[in-house]
Amino acid sequence: MVTVTPNNSSDSAPTGTESLSYEQARDELVQVVTELEQGGATLEQSIALWERGEALARRCEEWLIGAKQRLDAARAAVED
């Protein structure tokens, strides 16, 4: 099994997502979007959900960028 690590190049403040796997972040993001779409939250709750969703989306993107970099490196190694 190959382990893919995220690209941790962001300098933003900790969001509590640093230890999440791609799948964990993606699944929680789906839950956040579902809650926002249902519309029962207060404005303050909606803002907190939005902020959490943004952090989760960034985490997913970090993982995907890291995976792409590894794939690119593997392809380059095969071509050499």
pLDDT value at residue 2: 40
The pLDDT tens digits of the residues spanning 20-73 come to: 999 999 999 999 999 999 999 999 999 999 999 999 999 999 999 999 999 999
Residue recorded with tokens 């995976």: 67
Q: Which contiguous run of DSSP H or E holds residue 27? A: helix 22-38
